[in-house]
Amino acid sequence: MMRLMNCFAKFLAARLRSFGFALEGLVYAVKTEGNARVHLVATLLVIALGFGFGVSRGEWMALLAAMGLVWTAELLNTALEILCDIVEPERSEAIKRAKDVAAAGVLASALAAAGIGALVFWPYIFG
C-alpha cells in the first residue's frame, strides 16, 4: 500500500510541475505579446459581463469554449513564432508565411469568439 501511495505522490508531483510550466508559458505570453494582453482584457470583460448579466449555463459553455479557442490559438501562434525565430533567425519568406498563417488562425478564432459574444450578449444589452 505504501508503494502505491509513493507512486501516486510522484504522479501528482509531476502533474503539478507540468501545470507550473504551463502557467509559466501563459505568463510569458501575456508579458511579451501585445495580442495576448488584448485577449486577457477581453477575457476579463467577458467574464465580468457574464456574471453581470447572469448568463445561462449554455451561454457560459459557449463563452468558455470561445475564450478557450482564442487562447489556444494565441498560445500556439506564440510558440510557433518563437520556434521559427530560433530555427531561422534571418528573414525568410517561408517563415513569414508560416507566421502569417498562424496569425490568421488567431484572427479566425477571435472573429468566431466575437460572433459568439455578440449572440450571447446582444439580447442582454439591446433586448
Same domain membership, residue 25 and residue 53: no
Shared-domain flag, residues 19 and 48: no
13 and 28 both lie in a single domain: yes
Query: Which residues touch 94 (CB under 8 Å, ≥6 apart)?
Result: 88
Q: List C-alpha distances in Å: 119 to 11, 20, 64, 126.
A: 42, 35, 14, 11
- The reply to whether 61 and 10 lie within a common domain is no
Query: Does the reported pTM lie above 0.85?
Result: yes
pLDDT digits (tens, 9 = 90+) for 23-67: 999 999 999 999 999 999 999 999 999 999 999 999 999 999 999
Same domain, 46 and 108: yes
- Residues 44, 78 within the same domain: yes
The parent domain of residue 56 ranges over: 34-126
For residues 111 and 122, state if they share a domain: yes
65-93 pLDDT, tens digit each = 999 999 999 999 999 999 999 999 999 99
> Do residues 63 and 98 share a domain?
yes
Q: How confident is the model at residue 8 (pLDDT cuts 50, 70, 90)?
A: confident
Q: How confident is the model at residue 94 (pLDDT cuts 50, 70, 90)?
A: very high
The answer on 43 and 17 residing in a single domain is no
